């Protein structure tokens, strides 16, 4: 019998998932993605992305490993130092952590921008109103009046006064091409991705190999704790973070359980 057999597949509300289930967090995450698809927020491809993420998380031990915690602290410092920080929201992020992204934006003074791989006006509007239901006051991404250079199709569209003008961008669960194109624009990128070998964390200044449901609340906690720190102290946290070591530590945990 697998761990999943004890929970019915057609759970209506997430409160029905027993919190003492050994795979509680994974079941909750799957449920939120399914609901996101039902609501027109999450693309069907988001289910595949979730499946991949879930497999990596299983191998990580479904916990925030120490190097990921260091990355989350460095990311919080980087966002606090930024002049124009933006948190990018796609269909998976909106389904999994809408209120948590609003809290993080509030803690670091960042804008929220909907930025989709599979961009349609309907999904943009659905995600923006979902974020507003979770407390967001302003949501960018509806204009799409600028383009990320060297990237084709709709996924290059961003707001001129949002991601296009940002100095630091958080891009969770991101497609590798866009992460590379943002990197080429000179943005400081913070990426959350459970696959340390994916191109997005590989190009990020701060790669966070952790489940977004754990990473974002932890970044907010770090940001609130660091909020009173001066610029030098924040800069030291950023400078002391070693992105190569963090990626190696995550890969080693996944491959060897170490």
Q: Residues within the annotated binding site?
A: 30, 52, 193-195, 199-200, 211-212
Q: Are 86 and 167 in contact (CB under 8 A)?
A: no
Q: Are 184 and 149 in contact (CB under 8 A)?
A: yes
Q: Taking CB under 6 A as the rule, does residue 34 contact ligand PTJ? A: no
Q: How far is the CB of 211 from ligand PTJ (least distance, A)?
A: 4
Contacts of 1 (CB under 8 A, 6+ apart): none
Q: Taking CB under 6 A as the rule, does residue 202 contact ligand PTJ? A: no
Nearest to 115 by CA among 145, 166, 157: 157
Residue 38's alpha-carbon distances to 12, 95, 97, 106, 185, in angstroms, are 12, 10, 16, 28, 35
Task: Find the binder of ligand PTJ among 43, 157, 187, 253 (CB under 6 A).
Answer: 43
Q: How far is the CB of 68 from ligand PTJ (least distance, A)?
A: 10
- 252 — phi, psi (to 5°)? -65, -40
The residues with which 190 forms a beta bridge, in sequence order, are 170, 206
Residue nearest to ligand PTJ (CB): 53
Binding flags for ligand PTJ, 122-161, as an x/- string (CB under 6 A): ----------------------------------------
Q: Taking CB under 6 A as the rule, does residue 113 contact ligand PTJ? A: no
Residue ranges binding ligand PTJ (CB under 6 A): 29, 43, 45-46, 49-50, 52-53, 56, 90-92, 96, 116-118, 173-175, 192-195, 198, 211-212
């Amino acid at each position: 019998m697998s761990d999943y057999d004890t929970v019915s597949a057609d759970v209506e509300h997430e409160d029905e998932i027993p919190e003492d289930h050994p795979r509680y967090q994974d079941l909750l995450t799957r449920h939120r993605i399914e609901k996101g698809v039902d609501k027109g927020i999450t693309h069907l491809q988001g289910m595949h992305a979730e499946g991949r993420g879930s497999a990596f998380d299983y191998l990580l031990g479904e916990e925030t490993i120490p190097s990921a915690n260091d990355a989350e602290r460095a990311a919080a410092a980087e966002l606090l130092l930024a002049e124009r920080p933006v948190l990018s929201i796609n269909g998976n992020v909106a389904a999994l952590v809408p209120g948590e992204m609003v809290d993080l934006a509030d803690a670091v003074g960042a804008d929220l921008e909907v930025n989709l791989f599979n961009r349609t006006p309907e999904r943009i509007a659905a995600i923006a109103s979902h974020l507003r239901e979770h407390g967001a006051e302003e949501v960018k991404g509806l204009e799409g009046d600028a383009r990320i250079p060297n990237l084709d199709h709709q996924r290059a569209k961003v707001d001129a006064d949002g991601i296009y003008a940002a100095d630091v961008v958080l891009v969770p669960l991101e497609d590798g091409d866009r992460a590379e194109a943002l990197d080429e624009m000179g943005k400081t990128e913070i990426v959350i991705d459970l696959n340390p070998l994916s191109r997005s964390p590989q190009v990020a200044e701060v790669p966070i190999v952790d489940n977004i449901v754990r990473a974002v609340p932890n970044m907010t906690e770090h940001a609130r704790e660091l909020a009173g720190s001066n610029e030098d102290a924040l800069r030291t946290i950023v400078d002391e973070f070693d992105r190569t070591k963090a990626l190696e530590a995550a890969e080693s945990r996944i491959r060897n359980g170490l």
